[in-house]
Amino acid sequence: MSGHNKFANIKHRKGAQDAKKGKIFTKIIKELTIAAKTGGGDPNGNPRLRLAIEKAREANMPKDNMEKAIKRGTGELEGINYEEAVYEGYALAGVAILIDSLTDNKNRTTGEIRSILTKNGGAMAEAGAVAWNFERQGMIVIQNAKEDDVMEVALENGGDDVEQDEDMVFVYCNPESLMSLTEELKKKFEVTSSEITKSPKTTIKIEDKETAEKILRIIDLIDDHDDVQKVYSNADIDPAILDEA
């Protein structure tokens, strides 16, 4: 589907998201802290925190780690003061890059992201230059299910779209429906992930292997940065190239 983030899909399918560097705990801890800071420490009244806690549980994070991160956010414990920053840029072939980060030093992070882009054939973009092409969506990943079976449940409970990718099914929805839809799907299917993502409205098809590999390298380098939470692009890369990456 042209509107969805195929790069995100392939990362889920390959099981490579964050785990390759063991950084998933660090990213979740930052999200727990900022979610508690901006919306309070009660997950019942803070959807963002509730989702972060769910991600922490999926990653088998110890309860003590979660509680400390939340208390740092609410100010009950001392900790690093993170702030949210969104960076926009371009990779090769005009591919748009959108970056969500949590940092304790925005100037440092800005300089380092800029350096990664420029040293690898990309460039920073002005605020709003590429963000307009991405929309926030809920994305639920289901293992070992058939698209038709999932679609029936998803569309009855606030889902907008469903797509199959080998043995995984991706369900897309309005961010506000994510938690309730996830709970309904869990009753019948093996839900492996539930998160807010940013999907491109329009994509750029990349068929040249060398160009695709350079774009993937930029995305990987940015994703590996300590302050980066998520990276999105509108590159539509041939699945055969992605599988080799």
Mean pLDDT along residues 84-103: 97
**pLDDT band at 148; cut points 50, 70, 90:** very high
Rounded to whole angstroms, the Cα distance separating 96 from 92 reads: 9
Q: What is the mean pLDDT of the chain?
A: 90
Tell me the CA distances in angstroms from 150 to 6, 40, 55, 176, 196, one per residue in order.
19, 34, 21, 19, 19
Rounded to whole angstroms, the Cα distance separating 178 from 50 reads: 11
This prediction's pTM: 0.87
162 phi and psi, to 5 degrees?
Answer: -140, 140
* pLDDT at site 97: 97
User: Comparing 20-24, 51-55, 208-212, which segment has the lowest mean pLDDT?
Assistant: 20-24
Mean pLDDT along residues 92-104: 96
Decide if 6-15+85-133+201-244 and 134-200 have a common fold: yes
Query: Could you read off the pLDDT of 101-141 as tens digits, one per residue?
Result: 999 999 999 999 999 999 999 999 999 999 999 999 999 99
Query: Could you read off the pLDDT of 173-226 as tens digits, one per residue?
Result: 999 999 999 999 999 999 999 999 999 999 999 999 999 999 999 999 999 999
In the predicted structure, residue 10 carries a pLDDT above the cut 60? no
Q: Determine the topology of domain 20-74 in CATH.
A: Arc Repressor Mutant, subunit A (1.10.10)
CATH class of 134-200: alpha beta
Query: What residue ranges do the domains of the chain occupy?
Result: 6-15+85-133+201-244, 20-74, 134-200
Q: Give the residue, 4 or 91, on which the prediction is more confident.
A: 91
What is the pairing mode between strands 235-237 and 204-206?
parallel
CATH value of 6-15+85-133+201-244 in 3.40.50.740, 3.40.630.30, 3.30.70.980, 1.10.357.10: 3.30.70.980
**pLDDT band at 18; cut points 50, 70, 90:** very low
3-class secondary-structure state, position 46? coil
